[in-house]
Structure 1
Amino acid sequence: MIKEYSVSGTALTGETLEARDVTIVVQDGIITAVEDESSVPDQWICPAFFNAHTHLADTVAMDLPCAGTLDELVTPPHGLKHQILAKTSVPRLISAMRDSITEMIHSGTAGFADFREGGKPGVLALQEAASQMHIRPIILGREGGEEIADGAGISSARDVTQSMEIADLMKRQGKIIGFHAGEKDPDDIDAALEAHPDFLVHCTHVTKSQIRRIADEGIPVVLCCRSNFLLRVTSGRAHPPVQEMIDAGVEILIGTDNVMFVQPDMMQEISFIHSVYGVPAENLLYSATRGFPPSGISHSIMPGNRASFCVMDCSWGNLRHSRDIKSTIVKRAPMSHFCARIF
C-alpha cells in the first residue's frame, strides 16, 4: 500500500530556499510534488538540518568540569575524552549516544556525520544507537572501524601516520574520507589535502593559499565555530576566516563537534555563526540544511528527494511578524514552534 500525505505552508523550496506558499505531496517517503497555492496555513516548512560533524560518544563526558589544551582534552590516544571513552561500558555508551540522537531529532536534524572512535566495536555501538531512530547516520570509523563504516574520520594528518594509506583504501572501496585539519594551526592542512579528502573539518587557521586550493579542488569545509571558541583555538571572527572561504567559493557545511562541550543543536550553531562571524542568514541556512554532498544526501524540498523537513507553527507568538523567514529561523532558533518533523 502506498502511503501518501500532504503538508501545506510557506516552504523554503529547492536549492535556493525560495519561500513559496505550497502543498508538498509525499508518497512512501519521497516528495512527488510541490504545488503552488494561493492560500496556506500559518506555518513554515524548512528543510531538516544535517549535522556534518559530531562526536556523539562524548555524551558520556558531557559538561564535565575540565580545563586544558586541545591536545590534553581531545587529541588521541591519550586525551581526556579518550581516557573516559576507554572506561565506559558499551551499554552506557549506546544509551548516551541514543539520547543525543534524540536531542538532534527534536531540534530538527535528520542526519549526521560522526567521527567514531573505538575501532569496530565503536562503530557497531553507534550503529546500534542509531537503529530504529528516524535519522540518517554517516559513520566514519577509526582504528579499523572504517572497515565496517561508511568511511574514515581522521583526527589529523599529524596524529595518524598512516592517514594516506587509509585514505587510499577508502577511495578504492568507494567510501568517504574526512580529516580534521587546521584546528589549532595550519600545519596539518596541506598533508590532509594530499590525501584528496571528501571534506575537511574546522580549517580554523587556514591560510589564503590553502583556501584557494580547497576551493579549486571543490572540497567542502565543515565549520564547528562554537567548539572552536570553547576549546580556545580561536577567540574572534578572524578564525576561521569564514567570509574569505565563502568569497573564494569554498563549499561550507555546518557541524556541532564534541557533545562533551557543545549541544548538538544546529539552530544554536548557525545562530552563533551569524552573530559572531556576520555570515548572511540565507548562506548559513543553506549550508545547514542542504544535506551532505560527500554521500549524495540532499534535504532540499523538491520532487524526487526524500522527505526531510520540519514544520513550524507561526500562528502564535512573534514569528507572525517576521519580514524574512530565513533570518528569523537563523537568528531566533524558534524550536518551540516545531509542530512536526517529517524525516
Structure 2
Amino acid sequence: MHLEGTVLVGRDFEPVEGRVVVADGEIVRIEEASVESDAVILPAFVNAHTHIGDSIAKEAGEGLSLDELVAPPDGLKHRLLRDADHEEKVAAMARTLRYMEATGTGTFLEFREGGIEGVNALRDALAGEGVPFGERAIESVVFGRDDPDVLSVADGYGASGARDADFDAVRAATREAGKPFGIHAGERDADDVNAAMDLDPDFLVHMVHAEPIHLERLADRGTPVVVCPRSNLVTNVGVPPIRELNKRTTVALGTDNVMTDSPSMFREMEFAAKLSDLPAREILRMATVNGAAIAGLNRGVVEPGADADLLVLDGDSDNLAGARDLVRAVVRRAGQADVSRVVIGGEPVVPRGD
C-alpha cells in the first residue's frame, strides 16, 4: 500500500511531496516525487490520557467541583459507573472508540476504572462485543485502577492521586511485572505533587499546579507529563503551565474524561496551541510521538521503520485550502471534516466505521 500527497516527515514534520510506502504494518520508505494529490499525510494521533468509561454520561454534572465530579469513590462519575451495567458501558465506550478513529486517533492511553471487570469491559468494546458496528482498529494501552490484581489483565496501573491511597505496594508490583505506572498529580492543588513524584512514576498527568520545586524535579528526573488543558478549564482547576513543562521534560496531550470533553485531538491541539503559543511543531509532537514515547511505542512519526499509523487529511478542503504553513494549519485549524482516511497498523479504517 502507498499513500500520496504532502508528507509531514520525521519529528520536525517537514513537508515532503511524494508517497509513503507501507508493508506488513510498517512504514517501509518515503519517496520524494511529484504527485497529483492534495492530501496531507501525518502520524495518527496518540491520545495520552483518557477516561472513556464515563462515555455513559456526557455533559453530566454541570456546576460540580472536580472532587464532586470525579474523586473516588463517590464522585458523580464513579456513582454512575456503579449504576451502569456491563452492556451499557461497553456500548458507550464502543461509540467513543469509533469517534476517536474518525478524528484520527490511532492509539489511546486509558486510565480504566473498575478493576479487572473495568478492563475487560474495555476489551469487549474494542472487540465489538454486543455492539452493531463491530471490532475497532484503534489501539489501546490500558492502565487499570482500583485493584492491585488488575495488573494481571492491564498493560499498566493508573493511580488516581497520591492523596487518595498508599500506592507504594502497587508501584512495587508494577516494577516487578515490568509494567508502567502513571499517576494524577497537581490537578486540584500542589499538595500531592511531591508525594506522587516520590513514587518515581513513569509519567504524571495534569500538573496544573506545578511549582518551581516540582519543575526542578521534573528536569532532574526527566519524568514525562501528560497535560489535558480543556478538561482542566472545564473543571475550574486552572490550566497547566505548558510552556514551562515543555522546557523541562517530554509533554504529551490527552483529552481526559469523555464526560466533560470530546476525545478529539484536533480540539485539544488547537486549545493547547492557543493557550501556550508554542510552535505548532511542538504541539503536534505532543499529540503524536511524545505520547507514543511515554507508552514505549514505535509510532507517532512518519519515518521508515515506524508503525504505519497514519492520518490523511484533504488539503483541498474548504477549511485547509490555501494554507501557507501546513503544520500550523493542522494544529490550529484542522478537524474531523478534513479527515479523508485513517490507517492503523497498516490497514485503512473507514473514518465513521460504517
Structure-1-length-normalised TM-score? 0.94
Match of 2:172 among 168, 177, 187: 168
Task: Check conservation: 1:221, 1:250, Cα contact below 8 A.
Answer: yes
Partner in structure 2 of residue 292 of structure 1: 292
Partner in structure 2 of residue 194 of structure 1: 198
**Residue 156 to residue 322, structure 1, CA distance change in 2 (3 Å):** same
Partner in structure 1 of residue 46 of structure 2: 50
| Residue 141 (structure 1) aligned with residue 138 (structure 2) | no
Match of 2:22 among 26, 36, 60: 26
Moved over 6 A (4+): none
Task: Check conservation: 1:116, 1:122, Cα contact below 8 A.
Answer: yes
Partner in structure 1 of residue 268 of structure 2: 269
Unaligned ranges ≥5, structure 2? 128-134, 345-354
| Residue 242 (structure 1) aligned with residue 242 (structure 2) | yes
**CA distance in 1: counterparts of 2:81 and 2:318, whole angstroms:** 43
| Residue 106 (structure 1) aligned with residue 108 (structure 2) | no
- Aligned pairs for 1:15-164 (under 5 A) are 15-131=11-127, 132-144=135-147, 145-161=150-166, 163-164=167-168
**Residue 279 to residue 15, structure 1, CA distance change in 2 (3 Å):** same
**How far is the alpha carbon of 1:93 from its aligned partner?**
0.3
Task: Check conservation: 1:42, 1:315, Cα contact below 8 A.
Answer: yes
How many residue pairs get aligned? The number is 333
Letter in 2 for 1:226: R
Aligned alpha-carbon RMSD (Å): 1.3
**CA distance in 1: counterparts of 2:226 and 2:317, whole angstroms:** 35
Letter in 2 for 1:293: A
Letter in 1 for 2:301: S
Partner in structure 2 of residue 260 of structure 1: 259
**CA distance in 2: counterparts of 1:219 and 1:194, whole angstroms:** 11
**How far is the alpha carbon of 1:53 from its aligned partner?**
0.4
**CA distance in 2: counterparts of 1:323 and 1:136, whole angstroms:** 33
Task: Check conservation: 1:21, 1:40, Cα contact below 8 A.
Answer: no
What do the CA deviations read for 1:93-152 (whole angstroms, capped 9, x no partner)?
000001001110000000101111111100110111112311110110112223310010
Letter in 1 for 2:138: I
**CA distance in 2: counterparts of 1:196 and 1:318, whole angstroms:** 44
**How far is the alpha carbon of 1:318 from its aligned partner?**
4.8
**Residue 255 to residue 318, structure 1, CA distance change in 2 (3 Å):** closer
Task: Check conservation: 2:43, 2:301, Cα contact below 8 A.
Answer: yes
**CA distance in 2: counterparts of 1:215 and 1:232, whole angstroms:** 27
Q: Report the more deviating stretch, 315-324 or 216-225.
A: 315-324
Q: Report the more deviating stretch, 70-79 or 329-338.
A: 329-338
Structure-2-length-normalised TM-score? 0.91
| Residue 219 (structure 1) aligned with residue 218 (structure 2) | no
**1:292 is paired with a residue of what secondary structure?**
helix
**CA distance in 2: counterparts of 1:139 and 1:180, whole angstroms:** 15
**CA distance in 2: counterparts of 1:64 and 1:97, whole angstroms:** 16
Task: Check conservation: 1:309, 1:341, Cα contact below 8 A.
Answer: yes
**How far is the alpha carbon of 1:40 from its aligned partner?**
4.4
**CA distance in 1: counterparts of 2:162 and 2:211, whole angstroms:** 17
Task: Check conservation: 1:151, 1:176, Cα contact below 8 A.
Answer: yes
**CA distance in 2: counterparts of 1:334 and 1:82, whole angstroms:** 31
Task: Check conservation: 2:17, 2:34, Cα contact below 8 A.
Answer: yes
- Aligned pairs for 1:294-313 (under 5 A) are 294-297=294-297, 298-313=299-314
**CA distance in 2: counterparts of 1:98 and 1:166, whole angstroms:** 29
**CA distance in 2: counterparts of 1:105 and 1:316, whole angstroms:** 20
**How far is the alpha carbon of 1:284 from its aligned partner?**
0.4
**CA distance in 2: counterparts of 1:213 and 1:89, whole angstroms:** 43
**CA distance in 2: counterparts of 1:315 and 1:129, whole angstroms:** 35
Partner in structure 2 of residue 206 of structure 1: 210
What do the CA deviations read for 1:207-257 (whole angstroms, capped 9, x no partner)?
1111121122111100100000000001xxxx411111122x211100000
**CA distance in 1: counterparts of 2:56 and 2:221, whole angstroms:** 37
**1:68 is paired with a residue of what secondary structure?**
coil
Q: Report the more deviating stretch, 123-132 or 83-92.
A: 123-132
